[in-house]
Amino acid sequence: MLEYLLCHECEQKFGSLEDYAKRFFYGTSSPIRLRLPLLKDPLFVADYKKMKLFQLSILWRASEAKGEFFSAVNLNDQHRERLRQMLSNDNPGREDEYFCAMTRLVASPLIEQLQMMHGISIETGFFAPVGHTHETWDSYTFVMGGLVWCFCVSAHGVPKILVNTYIKQTGRFWLMPMNADGFLINFSQKAVEAGNVTRADAEESIRAKLRIP
């Protein structure tokens, strides 16, 4: 089901951010494939303003959506209004404000072989986000485009363990690899525990994405 959240002007603004992120991560590939190389030290440089605003647009739209798919993203009015103002004013904010830690999913050789057989890729997966409440901050994790996007929402600063996980104002960020097979199964289980989907739905989704009979 489609849900219309934006006026034409905002659609154009968000569309330009989406185009930038698509070119940065996937180039002109169709269907999309991550074009960034797998490196021992996976440090990359992006346009901080464009990338951060793109990330904020994901979080804000998910928080405003009324459908069940994004029901785990539950921000209070203060956070939603702050995000709206930042996006409206093209203000990416501080690097530690509503930051997003990104991780790259890497499929095993077996899964890569199955993907080639069926003409699919790890980049085509898109799962309902999972929310989690920590002591002084909340996290919202999205899986899409072969990447894991984990947002931190906090009024008490950045947890020290996460300081090096998000894009800095210099544009530098690490895109660390993660085994996709185990992560997707674990993520599916968390979605069930959070009440986002039923166990049957989660298992069916994982099997469909990984082509497990």
- DSSP secondary structure, 60-100, as one string: HHHHH--SGGGTT----HHHHHHHHHHHHTT----TTSS-E
Between residues 172 and 120, which one has the greater pLDDT?
A: 172
Query: What's the mean pLDDT when you consider all of the chain?
Result: 83
Q: Is the pLDDT of residue 192 over 70?
A: no
Exposure string for 59-88, b = 16+ CB within 10 A, e = fewer: bbbbbbeeeebbbbbebeeebeebbeebbe
Give the residue-averaged pLDDT of 101-110.
Answer: 88
Instruction: Starting at the earlier edge strand, list the strands of the sheet with 176-179.
Output: 126-133, 137-144, 147-154, 100-106, 176-179
CA dihedral for 165, 153, 188, 201, sign (positive or negative)? negative
pLDDT the model gives residue 26: 95
CA dihedral for 28, 32, 38, 41, sign (positive or negative)? positive
Percent of the chain with pLDDT over 90: 50
